[in-house]
Copies of this chain bind each other. A is one copy, B any other.
Amino acid sequence: MKLQIITISREFGSGGRTIGKKVAEQLQIAYYDEEIVSEIAKESGLAESFVKEQGEYANTSSHFLFNFNNWGNGMTSTLSDRLYVLQRNLICELAEKGPCVIVGRCADYVLRERRDCLNVFVHANMEFRADRIVRLYGEKEDAPQKRLEEKDKKRSTYYKYYTNRTWGKAQNYHLCLDSGMLGVEHCVQIICEVVNEKNK
């Protein structure tokens, strides 16, 4: 079976988004990242910035209860749970549309029943990532490592909560790449070659 979907999970600052974008460009397929946020913001009526934060970093231990009117079954669920469901449904719909790259948002887990997914995890050491977020995202130079650790912890917690899997466990992905060692461009090349090799 041909590979249609590439999911990219990534450590904050590892260049995973850039890699995903470039892979989509090279393979000439769709790329979904911010589009997911916009669509869910529209559907839920919530602010994009809030949806973005909640979609990967929800503080699942203390998220507040929220009863959506359109939940419809009378059960009270948390806002985070409801957003997860919207996000999951949207990811499934996007995957049905055709070949694409989807970054983050537990897409590897959401699409786990499909046989046409390549699941990639991108990571890098602290030094590479700290340098990258200061340089590219204009993060404050004081304590970028602390910020990275917090982001990693939140992503990991979110992933564990909704998937019961361990974030960054090699066995959950087909390909794990150290972008700090390999370089962003080389990661793009490896992923594209894997897809082309499987699909030839």
Residues in B with CB closer than 8 Å to A186 are: 194, 197
* List of B residues within 8 angstroms of A121 by Cβ: 170, 176
Residues in chain B near residue A123, CB distance under 8 A: 170-171
**Residues of chain A in range 114-159 having any CB-CB distance to chain B below 8 Å:** 118, 121, 123
Per-residue CB proximity of A165-199 to B under 8 Å, as 1/0?
00011110111111001100010001001100100
Q: How many A residues touch the partner, as a band?
A: 20 to 34
Docked Cα-Cα span, A144 to B175, in Å, equals: 25
A181 touches B174 (CB 8 A): yes
Which of B11, B168, B175, B178 contacts A177 (CB under 8 A)? Answer: B175
Min CB gap A6→B, angstroms: 13
Nearest CB on B from A120, distance (A): 10
